[in-house]
Amino acid sequence: MKLNSLTKMSVVLAVCGFISLVNAQENAPQVPCCAKCLINDARVPDPAMDSFDGRIEKDPRVRTYVTPARIVWQTENTAKASVQNAAFLLKNTSGQISLTNPELCVFENKGEAPGVILDFGTELSGGIQIGCAGTSTGKPVQIRIRFGESVSEVMNDIGGDKNATNDHAVRDQTTLVPWLGTAEIGNTGYRFARIDLVQPNSTMSLKFTRAVFLFNDLPYLGSFVSSDDRLNKIWQTGAYTVQLNMQNYVWDGFKRDRLVWIGDMHPETMTINTVFGNNWMVPRSLDLVRDETPLGSWMNGISSYSIWWLLIHNDWYRINGDLDYLRQQQPYLTGLLRQLLACVDEKGVEKMPEGRFLDWPSNANPKAIHAGLQSLMILAFDAGVNLCDTLGEKELSKECANMAAKMRTYIPDPNNSKQAAALMALAGLGDAKNLNEKIMAVDGAQRMSTFYGYYVLLARAKAEDYQGCLDVIREYWGGMLDMGATTFWEDFDINWMKNAARIDEVVPADKVDIHGDYGNYCYIGLRHSLSHGWASGPTSWLSEFVLGVRVEDGGKIVKINPHLGDLEWVRGTFPVKGGVLEVSHKKHENGSINTLVTAPKGVKIVSDSKIKIKRR
């Protein structure tokens, strides 16, 4: 009897269904249900994998090639050096070297090294691939590659007066490219690449030069679009900055330091929750630093960073509600809380040990650091109450609550620091509106920092100064965009913008080099990272306070309370348990707002105002 394909499929499904029932019986022998299952069960040998005998760790990142967007600069052609047909490098090619090439880019060194600077259009992570289709020597030739987050960085030498470095990722190196073949060079964060032919008395013909872009290709579950394109761009830039730093762990910066700094991770984690949802990289990074830091010491050698580990866990559980994961932290978490309790004196004053750090701009202000640490300790004990209540640690919860109350009886001096004032407002060590009026709202975006700027925004929202927040986001984070940024920087001062060249141009003699001429502490000059995840705060803030989405109770409750300020409308999405929340707000002339929320089933929506709710 002949069976058509549909009948065959029905028979296979019936057999598979029957055997699945057999397999489900207690103590039943597990048998493969069909030929496909038999193959999977027997597991066909895979020579490419099996020969490594379990020594393989798969890379979850995507590998993509990016063609340059423009030629920023090239050597002026002389009798000693020339670059011919540089524009050819802007064309998409197959990436395959061939013997017949009607058109190529030709470098010629007759005593001096010719070079070009390529702009890939936006910051990216990875290296560069160079396809050489011939040399005059018939042998490999030496080239010099310089990677840069700014044009200035690729125009300067390692160890020069602009402080270009190879400290964490090699950004300047001399290497060989084959006579006829492809070379891959570098692993760093960059937007610009400079190529110089340094082999004396030689020529080199290039068929292509393209970026090798390595990144986690994550769906953007969260979104934010409003009537202000500048705010939209800022939200997107913060999201992209963090995505590039989500390599196999959550890094602070993928040019520098390429490390898991727990303090930096708090703004990054809030952005990840906002844009990508519950992502495996956050727990992996938290656990890495936990396992590397025995109790009694401090994470990353900074006492406040152990506090941030607690605060991240508090927010992670509030939003995602993963109780099994939280229970895995219980021994370390409770031990750390007891370690912190021992760092407060009888008057309720913090006595944190070494590594007394808030952020870099606060480093020269010990009074502000003290006020900030007092506030962070209170926030840690508040978080300890939440976490211990969840974990059934009743006695420790009570200790944390009592200590937080005791510490609130001592009011330190923020010493005119916006960072310290923000933490004090968030910790209840002062009236938020008063601290905002006297310190945080004074002189706009002056005295801001990219890391603690997020907490200034949170504190000003607590003071109900939403319009002030929108203004400072536009001025401060928007200022980086005005200087050519495609990702947000490790630090930024709006005063740097005065008479400064953009990072995507060769610095004219009469302008300031905003990358190479500024910076402090560990980020002097070109060592300064121009893609730092801790600077992404506006992304999370805009979604929470303008779009108005705050997730509570382990993801079971979503509060919707928008604050549009001078915006006419805003709409966006937010990842929640069971799917994605869709929210839109439209403001009328009388100031009233129409709100529509489309939510997955099982998520409770709460709002202070009347909203329309649809279920998916």
Whether 514 maps to a domain, the answer reads: no
- Confidence category of residue 91, pLDDT binned at 50, 70, 90: very high
> Using 50, 70 and 90 to split pLDDT, how confident is the model at 18?
very low
Closest by alpha carbon to 597, among 575, 609, 576, 612? 612
Residue 526 maps to a domain:
no
Q: Which one, of 537, 528, 536, lies nearest residue 255 by Cα?
A: 528
pLDDT of 138 > 50? The answer is yes
| CA distance linking residue 464 with residue 436, whole number of Å | 10
> Is a pLDDT exceeding 80 seen at residue 28?
no
Q: How confident is the model at residue 610 (pLDDT cuts 50, 70, 90)?
A: confident
Expressed as residue numbers, the domain containing 19 is 5-50
325-345 pLDDT, tens digit each: 999 999 999 999 999 999 999
pTM: 0.92
Which of 159, 192, 215 is the endpoint of a domain? 215
SS3 state at 263 = helix
Task: Give the rounded distance of the alpha carbon of 48 from its chain centre.
Answer: 34
Tell me, yes or no, whether 68 and 118 share the same domain. Answer: yes
Are residues 66 and 46 both part of a single domain?
no
Higher pLDDT, 14 or 151: 151
- 132 shares a domain with 19: no
411, 430, 449 - which closes a domain? 430
Instruction: Identify whether 236 is part of a domain.
Output: no
Among the ranges given (51-65, 167-181, 216-230, 264-278), the one the predictor scored with the smallest mean pLDDT? 51-65
Instruction: Find all residues with CB under 8 Å of 170, minimum gap 6, and list them.
Output: 186, 187, 188
Instruction: Look at the block and give the residue holding tokens 């991240």.
Output: 312
State the average pLDDT over residues 355-381. 96
310 and 293 Cβ atoms separated by less than 8 Å: no
Residues 317 and 403 in one domain: yes
One domain for residues 14 and 101 = no
Question: What confidence tier does 22 reach under pLDDT thresholds 50, 70, 90?
Answer: very low
Residue 255 lies in a domain: no
Convert the pLDDT of each residue in 543-566 to its tens digit: 999 999 999 999 999 999 999 999
H/E stretch holding 148: strand 141-148
**Exposure string over 177-206, b if 16+ CB within 10 A, otherwise e:** bebbebbebbbbbbbbbbbbbbbeebbbbb
Residue-level pLDDT at 38: 43
Given a contact cutoff of 8 angstroms between Cβ atoms, the answer to whether 459 and 422 are in contact is yes
Q: Domain for residue 518, yes or no?
A: no
Cα–Cα distances in angstroms (integers) from residue 304 to residues 2, 358, 371, 414, in the given order: 74, 7, 12, 17
For residue 90 the two structure tokens come to 């802007």
Angle between helices 303-320 and 281-292 (to 10 degrees): 150
Look at residue 11 and tell me whether its pLDDT is greater than 50.
no
Mean pLDDT of 272-291: 98
pLDDT, mean of residues 196-201? 97
Distances (CA, A) of 71 to 119, 437, 515: 6, 48, 20
3-state secondary structure of 434: helix
pLDDT at 1 over 60: no
Instruction: Give the pLDDT confidence score for residue 42 in this predicted structure.
Output: 58
Mean pLDDT over the full length of the chain = 93
Q: Which of 135, 146, 145, 115 is nearest to 201 (CA)?
A: 135
Based on the fold, state whether residues 150 and 73 are members of the same structural domain.
yes
The reply to whether 121 and 33 lie within a common domain is no
Joined tokens for residue 187: 């692993």
Q: What is the distance between the alpha carbons of residues 85 and 95, in angstroms, rounded to a whole number? A: 18
Which of residues 381, 411, 430 is at a domain's end?
A: 430
Name the percent of the chain lying above pLDDT 70.
93
Which residue, 247, 270, 267, 271, is CA-closest to 257?
Answer: 247
pLDDT reported for residue 582: 98
**pLDDT tops 70 at residue 21:** no
User: d(Cα 326, Cα 387) in Å, to the nearest integer?
Assistant: 8
What share of the chain has pLDDT > 90, as a percent?
A: 88
The answer on 44 and 71 residing in a single domain is no
H/E/C letters for each residue in 328-349?
HCHHHHHHHHHHHHCCECCCCC
- Residue 587 covered by a domain: yes
Judge whether 205 lies within some domain: yes
Residues 195 and 161 in one domain: yes
Identify whether residues 107 and 176 lie together within a single domain: yes
Beta strand 593-599 pairing with 579-587: antiparallel
Q: How far is CA 477 from CA 251, 333, 473, 484, 521, in A?
A: 20, 35, 5, 12, 21
Give the C-alpha distances (Å, rounded to integers) separating 359 from 305, 366, 372, 615: 11, 12, 10, 43
Structure confidence by residue, pLDDT tens digits, 419-467: 999 999 999 999 999 999 999 999 999 999 999 999 999 999 999 999 9
Q: Does 241 reside within a domain?
A: no
The amino acid occupying position 217 is D
- pLDDT of 235: 98
CATH code of residue 297: 1.50.10.10
pLDDT at 50: 78
Angle, alpha carbons 200-204-210 (nearest 5°): 125
The sign of the dihedral angle between the CA atoms of 125, 242, 240, 494 is: negative
Q: What is the pLDDT of residue 52?
A: 83
Handedness of CA 182, 185, 191, 196 (dihedral sign): negative
162 and 307 housed in the same domain: no
Q: How confident is the model at residue 43 (pLDDT cuts 50, 70, 90)?
A: low
pLDDT recorded at residue 34: 47
Same domain for 176 and 44, yes or no, is: no
pLDDT in tens, 589-604: 998 999 999 999 999 9
pLDDT score at 222: 98
Please name the residue ranges forming H helices in 358-465: 366-391, 394-407, 418-427, 432-435, 453-462
Average pLDDT over residues 243-264: 97
Write out the two tokens for 531.
């893609």
| Cβ neighbours around 66 below 10 Å, total | 16
- 31 has pLDDT over 90: no
Predicted confidence (pLDDT) at residue 192 exceeds the cutoff of 80: yes
- Look up the CATH number of the domain holding residue 586: 2.60.420.10
Q: How many domains, the chain?
A: 4
CATH number of residue 207's parent domain: 2.60.120.260
